Amino acid sequence: MQYIAKSFFSNRNAASYDRIVKYTTFGKDSLWKQNIAKYITPEHKYILDVACGTGIFSSFISNIPYKDLIGVDLTYSYISNAKAKKGYSLLVNSMAELLPFKSESFDCIVSCYLAKYAKISLMVDEIWRLLKKGGLVIFSDFVYPLNKIMRLLWNSYFNILKLAGQIIKPWKYVFYNLDEVIKRSTWTNDLKIALEKKGFQSLDVKYYTGGTSAIISAFKI
pLDDT beyond 80 at 3: no
Q: What is the pLDDT of residues 51-100, one digit of tens each?
A: 999 999 999 999 999 999 999 999 999 999 999 999 999 999 999 999 99
Q: Is 195 exposed, middle or buried (0-12, 13-18, 19+ CB in 10 A)?
A: buried
Q: What percent of the chain has pLDDT over 70?
A: 99
Q: Is the pTM of this model over 0.85?
A: yes
Question: What strand order describes the sheet that includes 131-142?
Answer: 90-93, 68-73, 46-50, 106-112, 131-142, 213-219, 201-208
Determine the pLDDT at residue 139.
98
Inform me whether the pLDDT recorded for 179 exceeds 70.
Answer: yes
Q: Taken in order 102, 104, 109, 115, is the CA torsion positive or negative?
A: positive
Give 98-135 pLDDT, tens digit per residue: 999 999 999 999 999 999 999 999 999 999 999 999 99
**Domains (ranges, CATH) in the chain?**
2-219 (3.40.50.150)
Cα first-last separation, the chain: 30
- How confident is the model at residue 4, as a pLDDT? 83
- The per-residue pLDDT of the chain, averaged, comes to 96
